[in-house]
Structure 1
Amino acid sequence: MKIQKSKTKEYRDSFKLIHQTDTGEKVYRLGRSILIKLPENRNSVITSWINGGYREDLQAIFNHQLNQSEIDHLENGPVPEFMRNTAKKMGMDPGRTSGFLTVAYMDNVAIITKTFREIEVTAIVTAGIEVNGGRAGDTASYYELNGTYEFEVGTINTVLIVNCNLSESTLIRSMMTAVEAKTVALQELMAPSKYSHGVATGSGTDNIAIISNMESEDVLTSAGKHSKLGELIGKSVIEATKQSLSKQSNLNPDSQCDMLVRLERFKVDPENYWEHARSAYQEPDKTKFMENLHDFSKNPLVVSLVASILHLIDETSWGLASQGAAEKTAISLMKTLPDLLKIENVPNYEKLLDQSDSVLINWIRVSTWVILNMKK
């Protein structure tokens, strides 16, 4: 399928300035793209199909949202050629332009600036991991051979602009700190991996660019977590990543205050609850049960309890807790649920629970019993 072409003039006429740094970097919105124009004497490190690595000659960096026809094209065509053509359409020199691809909407970009004295750090992030969120070390989803592979969507793209002068090694250290900060944002949101039961550390196609000002007399040599530059990088990236994920994926503290959402990464869904209610209790009214389940699921007390139980499962998978000790503790915790919700009746746990089954199966049994008894 051919890509729908746009005329260069149409791109130029649609440029809209949405942000400008104090040192002259200009961020434009144009259609399904964001373009960051760089003044002269900027150096950068960037993970990109075109003009990636360490550069001192880039004029611009773009972030382009793919439409379906473009995705279809990229599954059979070369990505670098497509990106060079995208740069040309924007009126940029493809030899001095780099960029990223995503399916995230440019309306959901987050731009956060943090300052301390003479240091200014700006993070520009688009983020979406509802399809492609993964955890480092998950089983691979493709094998690349001679540049050919299946194109995946869902990406966190980060551009970090620092107003000070950073060497190549300091730029790389800045990249390390920024990637850690992105992971902090995902960990604090308990973003699920789509390829394992773990918490995501990113998407499978994330990209990042770090830009510094070689004209600045403020030469910084450290960007680690102990440095003020590292602190500003961390704070700006965490805030921008969270803000963009909230806009794009509705991933935020409110959406995560839901038992069913927390259970998704363990492949537990409402149908598992209904099947148990129907088979164990002959519950006749699925619609009413599902309404009660979703109300129960959003109770902050329930979410806090299930989060504690799921963390025990995580600790077991990490080798930090023995399976026996974690399961025994989890069973003890879930037995507190009726009292926590002020239900006078107490189930017969000897009949309700089976310690030979998994923690999750036993949780479904206890929480289903509570749901059915809360409505009476």
Structure 2
Amino acid sequence: MSQPFRSSTRYESTIWSGLRLQLLDDRIVASLQEPVYALSSAIHPGGFSLADHIVNWKVPLDYRCDDPVMDFVRRCDGWGSKPELTIGMLTAAKLTHASVMEMEGDRFKLLCCTTSGTRNAARAGLPRLTFSAYEPGTINTVLLIDGQMTESAMVNAVITATEAKAAALHELGIVESANGRPATGTTTDAIVVGVSQRESWQAIHAYAGVATTIGCAIGEAVYETVLEATRTQHDE
């Protein structure tokens, strides 16, 4: 676990050849030599898709746009990324304070990168007023897995990652400002789970709960990166 962008603009995976993270002026870009099969809650495209670029795009705190999806697609053209193979998330968190962790396990490798801003910390399960526009402060997690997983296991990975994020926020004492209750996330969190589906692994992970080797690793990686990124979010 580390925060590589506090001293550099580039991070090369130590366990996954061709996987690179790069800090640019207003975004962190994860790029891969071969597309991964991804499940995401990102603004573009969301759901299941193929992707060889994942962009965590920093927008100003006062960012307002009637069509952020089209705005992102237009920017992809300027960045030299193919929109149909690019996943995009929005954040207002410090990109330099992104936390990165890599792990190897039982027929899989993974990289987790999290950025965290908790100005919108909220506790799921409580009634609240909802609005048509949200502040861009958020916790974004990119989880890239070199291995094979079923679609249901990928959904399971999202559950495990969310539980780990909530546990990390509880550990840090992050609360919803409106009521002082322990927060489980923010109002605008997003996640990407991208899987290589490389057949050479010769093993398909059908589950990703914490009773499985891959689920346990996912939980640990998300927990630790949320801890680090959130704990240091106000540091210089």
TM-score by length of 1: 0.57
SS of residue paired to 1:173: helix
Which of 171, 175, 178 is equivalent to 2:158?
175
Change in 2 beyond 3 A, CA 1:227/1:117: closer
Q: Secondary structure at the match of 1:176?
A: helix
State the 1:19 CA deviation.
2.9
* Aligned residue runs from structure 1 range 2-13, under 5 A: none
CA RMSD of aligned residues (A): 1.9
- Does the CA contact (< 8 Å) of 2:59 and 2:136 recur in 1? no
Separation in 2 of the partners of 1:45 and 1:23?
22
Aligned pair in 2 of structure 1 residues 33, 141: CA closer, same or farther (>3 Å)? farther
Give percent identity, aligned residues only. Answer: 24
Query: Alignment partner for residue 173 of structure 2, among 176, 179, 190?
Result: 190
Alignment match of 1:61 (pick from 49, 54, 61): 54
**Do 1:114 and 1:235's aligned partners in 2 also have CA atoms closer than 8 Å?**
no
Specify whether residues 139 and 155 from structure 1 end up closer, same or farther in structure 2 by C-alpha distance, changes over 3 A only: same
8 A contact 1:32–1:105 mirrored in 2 = no
SS in 2 for 1:38: strand
Cα offset for 1:22?
1.4
1:79 aligns with 2:68: yes
Equivalent position amino acid for 1:63 in 2? N
> Could you say what secondary structure the match of 1:48 adopts?
coil
- Residue 244 of structure 1 aligns with which residue? 229
Deviation, structure 1 residue 180: 0.7
Q: Which residue of 1 aligns with 2:16?
A: 22
Matched, 1:137 2:125: yes
Paired residues for 1:1-376 under 5 Å: 16-20=9-13, 21-55=15-49, 57-68=50-61, 71-74=62-65, 77-129=66-118, 131-143=119-131, 149-218=132-201, 219-249=204-234
Structure with greater strand percent: 2
> Which residue is equivalent to 2:4?
none
Give the partner amino acid of 1:182.
K
Following the alignment from structure 1 to structure 2, what is the Cα–Cα distance between the partners of residues 198 and 231? Answer: 27
Q: Residues of 2 paired with 1:41 and 1:151: CA distance?
A: 31
Residue type matched to 1:169 in 2? S
How far has the Cα of 1:47 moved from its partner? Answer: 0.5
**Higher-helix-fraction structure:** 1
Looking at structure 2, the residues matched to 117 and 167 of structure 1 have their Cα atoms a distance apart, in angstroms, of: 16
Give CA deviations for 1:227-253 in whole Å, capped at 9, x if unaligned. 010110011111100110122146xxx
User: How far does residue 23 in structure 1 lie from its aligned partner after superposition?
Assistant: 4.0
How far is the alpha carbon of 1:72 from its aligned partner?
4.0
Unaligned runs of 5+ in 1: 1-14, 144-148, 251-376
Question: Matches of 1:91 and 1:140 in 2, distance apart?
Answer: 41
Q: Which consecutive residues of structure 2, in runs of 5 or more, have no partner in the other structure? A: 1-7
Residues 23-57 of structure 1: CA deviation (Å, up to 9, x unaligned): 422211111200111332421100012111011x2
SS of 2:23 mapped into structure 1: strand
The 2-side partners of 1:234 and 1:217 are apart by 25
**Preserved contact between residue 23 and residue 163 of structure 1 (Cα < 8 Å):** no
Contact 2:172 2:231 in 1 (8 A): no
How far apart in 1 are the matches of 2:72 and 2:193? 19
Shift of 1:214: 1.5
4+ runs deviating over 6 angstroms: none
**Per the alignment, do residues 165 and 30 of structure 1 end up closer, same or farther by CA in structure 2, a change over 3 Å counting?**
same
Q: Partner letter of residue 123 of structure 2?
A: R
Offset from partner CA, 1:302-323 (integer Å, 9 cap, x none): xxxxxxxxxxxxxxxxxxxxxx
* Cα drift, residue 108 of structure 1: 0.6
Larger Rg: 1
Q: Aligned pairs, how many?
A: 225
1:138 is matched by which residue type in structure 2?
L
Question: Cα gap change, 1:126/1:51 in structure 2, threshold over 3 Å: closer, same or farther?
Answer: same
Whether the 8 Å CA contact 2:114–2:139 is kept in 1: the answer is: yes
CA distance in 2, matches of 1:19, 1:247: 22
CA distance in 2, matches of 1:116, 1:81: 39
Q: How far is the alpha carbon of 1:117 from its aligned partner?
A: 5.0
The one-letter amino acid of 1:165's match is Q
